[in-house]
Structure 1
Amino acid sequence: MVLEKKVMTKGKKSIGRQRIEIKELDDRGKQQVTFSKRRTGLFKKASELCVLCGAEVAVFVFSQKKNMYSFGHPNVETILERYLDGKTMSDSSSSSQELVPVDEFNRQYDQLQKELEKEKMHLAEIEEMNKKMKNTNVGFWWDEPFDENMGLEEMEQYMKALQEVRRKVEARIEEFRMPRTSLMQPMNMPMGLGNDFVNVNSWESNACGGFVCWNNM
C-alpha cells in the first residue's frame, strides 16, 4: 500500500474583510466624495425599502455647507405633514398611491445612457470631420466630394442646407442691389417707375460728351 504525502503549502492567512474605522475624515476632498457616495447609497436603500415593504419614507441630509438633500415617497411634503400632524399611514389618503416604479426608472435611465453615448459618438465624428476639413485645401463644405453612401434622410438635410445657403446669398445680393437701383432712377421720373423703362439687369454706360448715356440691351 502506497502512502501519498500531502505537501502543505505555506501562504499568508486571509484575515477577511476588515471593518473600517468610522471617524471624521481630515481631507476635504475625501469628505465631499464620501458624502456624495454615502448619500446616494442612503437614498437607494430608502427607495428599496419603499418598493419591498410598501413603506413611506422621508430622508433629509444636510452637507457641511448647509445644503439640503431629500428623498421621499410618495413625496417629502406628504410625509413631513403627517409627521407634524401626528397622523398614521391608515389616516392618510396618500397610502393608496402606487409604489415607486424603480424598474421602470432604471430602464429609462439605461435608455437615456445609450442615447447619450450615441450622441457623444456623433459629436466625435463631427469634430473629426472638422479637423480633416481644416487640414485640407477645401475652402467650403459644399466643395467636398459627395458621399454616394449617404442615406435619404441625410440627403434631404444636405439639400435643405444648400437651399438655405442659396436663400441667404440671394437676400444679400438684393441688399447690395437696392442702393444701386435707387441711384438709377431718372431725375424727371417718379420713384418706383424707373424699372419700367430701364432694365437694371442689362445696361451699359458710355461717356457721351461729358454725359452718361444708358443703353437698354
Structure 2
Amino acid sequence: MAARKTKGRQKVEMKRTDNQDDRSISFSKRRSGIYKKASELVVLTGAEIKVIVFSPSVKPLSFGHPSVESVINRFLEDPSSMDTYHLVEAHRRMRIEELARKYDEMLRQLDEKKESTSLRLKGKRKENDSEGWWDAPIEELDLKDLIGLEKKFERL
C-alpha cells in the first residue's frame, strides 16, 4: 500500500502560526465552527446568543440569535424595561402561532377544494362516458351492465 501524501484530518496543535496566510485560513475555518456551535446551543437550549469575533485584520464579525441587535439591546437595557421586552416577545410569538394556524387552515381548505373539484370532474367524466350507452355492443356487457342498461331504458 502506498504511503499517504497528505496528513488528512488530524488534530492540530494549538499554537500561533507565523505565516499570515495560514493564520487567515485557520481563522476563517474556526470562525464558522464557532458560529455552528453557537447555533447548536440556540437550537438545544433556546438561549439568546451574541458572538463577536475580531478577525486578524481587526474586522468585527458577529452572530446573534434572534438577532444581533435584540441581544445587544437586551444586554444594554435596564431591568425595568425587560417587562416591555417580554410583552413584545409574547405578542410576537402569539402572532406567529396565529399565522401558522391560518396557514394550516388555508392548506386544509385548499385540499378540500382539490378533492371536491376532483370528484366533480370524475362525475362529469362518468356522464360523458355514459352518453353513448346505447351504442355499446350488448354481447360484451356483463350482468351488472345489462341491469343498468335495462333501468336506463325504463327511465326513457
TM range (shorter): 0.3 to 0.5
Higher relative helix content: 2
* Larger of the two Rg values belongs to structure: 1
